[in-house]
Structures are given as structure tokens and as C-alpha cells.
Amino acid sequence: MDPIVLYDTTLRDGTQGENISFSADEKLAIAQRLDDIGIHYIEGGWPGSNPRDMHFFDLARRETFSQARLTAFGSTRRVDGSAEEDPNLNALLKSGAPTVAIFGKSWNLHVEKIMGTTLAQNLDMIRETVTFLKQHGREVVYDAEHFFDGYRENSVYALETLQVAVEAGADWVVLCDTNGGSLPFDVASATTAVQEQMARESARTGRLSPGIGIHTHNDSGLALANVLSAIHSGARMVHGTINGYGERCGNADLTSVIPVLQLKMKHPCVAAENMAKLKKLSRYVSEMANQVPSNCRPFVGKSAFAHKGGIHVSAIMKESRAYEHMDPAQVGNHRRVLVSDLSGKSNVEYKARELGVTLGGNGFDSRIIVNRIKEMEEQGYQFDVADGTFKIMVEKFTEQFKPLFDLESFRVSIEKDKDQPCSAHATIKVAVGDSEEITAAEGLGPVSALDNALRKALGRFYPDLDTMRLVDFKVRVIDGRDGTEAKVRVLIESRDHDEIWSTIGVSEDIIEASWQALADSFQYKLSKADTPPLAANDDKPQPPDRVAL
């Protein structure tokens, strides 16, 4: 099958999403990751619209991209000016980007009612802009904004706008579903019409046809479907963003587009070895955007290959494709088996093996654990989201648990001044082997103070704790009908350089529940290291406070 050209606009269109913003340095770091995975075009921003994007292009000029072409984005010349004097177009040239993407209007409604000009003048704007950029040696990607809306309302004019761009020398014409309201069969028929027009023009003039691209938004939940329809109808460039970030409901998500095209439709997109980088790229962009990764994101989400029902788990242990549409390793993901009150022996045995816990070969241990899980979930535990606590629990039930520290006691006090927010102070006493340690720490909340105090105490024995961070903290009231005496469930997510893990605590007391989850998180981290504690050293500098919870 024909290869597909990938055009990433995370750094431009993606930043139009709500609560998403990147500094110039962050944009450069993301661009390097995009280049590494094999993206062909990286749209860095609109240098004529803001200083940050121009700063990005200044930084990018000093970098060498091994696979990607850097692209600057802008609009056609202004209605009342010339291309040569247009500040936006000159900013595009100044950016130094070898490729320039220009958007123009394809919908007569926008031309006449929004821009307030004539259809003929709009054609002149497109023609003169593309000609100007080609004269300055730029590769030109022409984005036909609102193309599918324009095609429905006035197909002759919509096609004419493309024809003008082609005659002026555009290297690509991209059909944009700007409002995200088009349906797959409409996209297919319009793309086919464009393809046929390009073929007729090429036969008439003897010139090679430009490539056809597709740019979709997800307002109807059809961004990916519309991409596939366009590709099936002859488009060969796909615009999208990592994780689907973008204005309103977002853009086509390249973390789905790439594996569907390459693995399902057999259109080469990136090198096979780079496909396995897709999940890490997704997580990296989420971190840079300060967005919580979507667990249910296809292909790269945490839950994309998660199995909870006992019948499903039993089946995949025999034949994975019974309940998986592909090998998760192809996109850098992995299978997860969840443990809950819906679990059977298969879930427990699979999960124990995954976490490195040995069970008895006669199934006795797994039956006991299943029954205990059902009892604990009835009390409010939720083990399908707390692998760390599940591992510790299984080790306890099978008498394999070796605590790396024991709590002797803790005390938490909270102080409130009328003019100041609450502050918390925690004192903790822990035992590590034959040694005891008493420390105190402050925090912006009681859990923060406990976390800081525990770090100080254990840091004397386990210096590797400095690599551990608490990244999420959730509290849920299990049954609010009991008022302030209701049980609460606390879920803590932690990470280090290698892994993310979750732990859970349940109690009528929120501090007790938080301590359970916090202690399990530290026990899990320390058990991974599998190193004996150091002797206590009062002179060892203490790690700084980490989180406010």
C-alpha cells in the first residue's frame, strides 16, 4: 500500500485546546520527540501571531531534525494589501522554516459574510500568497479551511479555490473539516471529487498533481473515521495531534491514526521499530501539557488492553487474540489484568505472576485471595486501580510480605490562623530493622506533613527514595449517607524513573486511610529496590518537601 505522510500540528492546533499551552522550550523538546518517532512534518506555530512562536523557530533553527520538516503556519495575505508587504507572510519567511502552511477560505459563507469580500478577491488572495511563497523557495501546504462545508454549499467554488492554489504552485492541498461536522461518506465523496479534478488537470497540463491531505476535527466524534475515509479515497497526508489535543473537541489523534493506518490498513507511516515508542510519546506530551493521560485512549491508554472479567482473563491466558485486537507491544503498551470482586482465579494468578509473587501450584492460595478480595471490595477497596496495594496484600496472605519499615506511631496537628491558611505538622516514629527513627515535618496539609516526615525518617536508611514522587491523590466518600462517619477511600499514585504505581486505603478516618495508602506506596517502592537499609546517619542531609496534599 502507498505510504502516508504524517503532519503533526500539536504545537499549533493542539495548543488551541482548553488549558493547553507550551513554552518555546517545551515546544522544541516535543518537536525532538516527534522527529525521533518519524513524523514527516512538524507544524511549530504561527510566527506572525505571537512572539513565543517566533522564539520557537529561532530555537529550532539551531537544531538538526533527522526526519521531520519544520513547518510555519499562517494565513493568506490580507484583503486590502499585497503579499510582498504582508507582515504575516514576511514573518513566515523570517522563521526560516523550509515548509509553510497557508490557510485560505473555501466556503463562500466565510468569504462573503465573515471576511466581507468577494469570491473573486478571495481567489486572488490565495493565488498571490502561494505564488509569493514559492518565489521565495518555500514548500507550500495549502490548507483549504472549511472545505467540506464549502463543498456542500457551493462545490464549484470550493473546487475552484483548490485549483487556484494548484496553479500557483502549491505542493499539497489539504481538505479541512474545520467545524468537525462532516460525515465519513461526505468526506469520501468530496475527496474523490478532488482527486478526479487533480487527475484531469494533470492530464491537461502535463504537470504532476499536488498531494492531497486531510485535516479533521472531532466535534462529531468522527475525526479518525473521516481521516480513514479520506485516505481510502486518495488522500496521502494526514494532519493530527498527539492525544487528539486541539480546539473544542480536539483534532484527529495521531496515536490512533498511526496504528490504524499502518497495522490495520497496511499503509506505511513510520519505521516498524518506532511504533513501539507511541505510548511513551503520548505520555510525554501529556506531561508537557500538564494533562492527566486518558486511561481509555485507544492503543496507548492504560486501559486499552486491560481485562477484568474472569472469563476474559482465562481466555487470553490460552490465546491472547481471543480478547485483544492486536499485540499491545506493537505500540509500546502492555496487557493488564485487573483484580476486583468480578475476578476469578485466573485474574489472581495472572496478576500475581505479573507482579512477581509466587503462589502455590494447587490453586489453594488463589482461591483464598479471590474470596478475600471480594470481602475487601465490599468494604470499599478497589484493587483494579491499586496494583501496589494488591501486591502487598497477596504477599501478606501468602506470608511472603517482608516490611521494609514498621510504623510505631504518628501524630498530626493542624493550625489555623485567622489571616493565614491551615498548616500541618506531623511527628512520626518508625522502626527499620533494629533501629528506630523519630522525625517531624511540616506540610500544607496533614497528608503532606505525613509524607514529608516519613521521607525524612526513611531517607536515613533508603537514599533511593529521593527518586520517588507522589503525582496524584484522590479521596472519595464511599457512602455519603453516613455523613461525617462515612468511610472514605484514598487513592495515591506515585512514580519514579521507571514506573507508576497506585495504592489504596479505606477507613472512616481520612487520615488513617491516607496513611494506609501512603505506607503501601513507600513499601512498594522500597521492595522494588531490593536493597538492605543503610545504618542511620544523623548527618545525612534530608530530602526536600515534596507535595502538598
Is it the case that residue 539 has pLDDT exceeding 80? no
The answer on 415 and 503 residing in a single domain is yes
Is position 539 within any domain? no
Cell numbers given for 411: 501524630
Is it the case that residue 405 has pLDDT exceeding 80? yes
Produce one character per residue of 279-311: b if its CB has 16 or more CB atoms within 10 Å, e if not.
Answer: bebbbbbbebbeeebbeebbbbbbebbbbbbbe
pLDDT digits (tens, 9 = 90+) for 465-493: 888 888 888 888 877 666 767 889 999 99
The answer on 440 and 349 residing in a single domain is no
CA atoms within 13 A on the CB side of 197: 20
Give residue 67's pLDDT. 94
Is position 541 within any domain? no
Is position 356 within any domain? yes
The answer on 477 and 353 residing in a single domain is no
- Domain boundary pick from 214, 242, 270: 270
Provide the 10 A C-beta neighbour count for residue 427.
16
The answer on 428 and 348 residing in a single domain is no
Is it the case that residue 529 has pLDDT exceeding 70? no
The answer on 223 and 119 residing in a single domain is yes
Give residue 126's pLDDT. 98
What amino acid is encoded at 481 in this protein?
R
The answer on 51 and 166 residing in a single domain is yes
The answer on 490 and 412 residing in a single domain is yes
Is position 341 within any domain? yes
The answer to whether the beta carbons of residues 502 and 387 sit under 8 Å apart is: yes
Tell me which residue range forms the domain holding 506: 406-529
Q: How many domains is the chain built from?
A: 3
| 36 vs 8: CA distance, rounded Å | 13
Query: 310 versus 146: which is more confidently predicted?
Result: 146
What amino acid is encoded at 453 in this protein?
A
Is it the case that residue 196 has pLDDT exceeding 80? yes
Is position 492 within any domain? yes
pLDDT band at residue 239 under the 50/70/90 scheme? very high
Give residue 538's pLDDT. 46
Task: Identify the helix (H) or strand (E) that includes residue 391.
Answer: helix 387-397
Give residue 546's pLDDT. 42
Is position 118 within any domain? yes
| 55 vs 209: CA distance, rounded Å | 35
The answer on 410 and 373 residing in a single domain is no
Query: 379 versus 518: which is more confidently predicted?
Result: 518
Give residue 385's pLDDT. 73
Give residue 107's pLDDT. 97
Is it the case that residue 161 has pLDDT exceeding 60? yes
Is position 547 within any domain? no
Give residue 530's pLDDT. 65
Give residue 548's pLDDT. 45
The alpha carbons of the chain give a radius of gyration, in whole angstroms, of 29
Mean pLDDT across 293-320: 85
The CATH number of the domain holding residue 500 is: 3.30.160.270
Give residue 532's pLDDT. 67
H-only helix segments in 421-547: 446-459, 510-529
Give residue 373's pLDDT. 77
> Percentage of the chain surpassing pLDDT 90?
64
Average pLDDT over the chain reads 89
The answer to whether the beta carbons of residues 399 and 369 sit under 8 Å apart is: no
pLDDT band at residue 35 under the 50/70/90 scheme? very high
Contacts of 196 (CB under 8 A, 6+ apart): none
Query: Number of H helices and number of E strands within the chain?
Result: 18, 16
pLDDT digits (tens, 9 = 90+) for 43-97: 999 998 889 999 999 999 999 999 999 999 999 999 999 999 999 999 999 999 9
pLDDT band at residue 341 under the 50/70/90 scheme? low
| 83 vs 189: CA distance, rounded Å | 34
Is position 293 within any domain? no
The answer to whether the beta carbons of residues 141 and 100 sit under 8 Å apart is: yes
Is it the case that residue 440 has pLDDT exceeding 70? yes
2 sits in the region (left: phi over 0; alpha: psi -120 to 50; else beta) called beta
H-only helix segments in 168-243: 184-205, 223-232
The answer on 421 and 315 residing in a single domain is no
pLDDT band at residue 535 under the 50/70/90 scheme? low
The answer on 468 and 358 residing in a single domain is no
- Domain boundary pick from 270, 296, 325: 270
The full DSSP string for 282-351 is HHHHHHHHT-PPPTT-TTTSTTTTEE-SHHHHHHHHH-GGGT-SS-GGGGT---EE--STT--HHHHHHH
CA atoms within 13 A on the CB side of 98: 10
Give residue 363's pLDDT. 59
The CATH number of the domain holding residue 252 is: 3.20.20.70
Task: Output the CA torsion sign for 439, 441, 447, 451.
Answer: negative
The answer on 43 and 127 residing in a single domain is yes
The answer on 417 and 372 residing in a single domain is no
Strands (DSSP E) found in 56-210: 69-75, 99-105, 139-145, 172-177
Which of 83-92, 157-166, 248-257, 318-327 bottoms out in mean pLDDT, i.e. has the lowest?
318-327
Which of 283-297, 298-312, 349-363, 407-421 bottoms out in mean pLDDT, i.e. has the lowest?
349-363
- Domain boundary pick from 252, 270, 288: 270
Mean pLDDT across 188-203: 95
Contacts of 321 (CB under 8 A, 6+ apart): none
Is it the case that residue 242 has pLDDT exceeding 90? yes
pLDDT band at residue 398 under the 50/70/90 scheme? confident
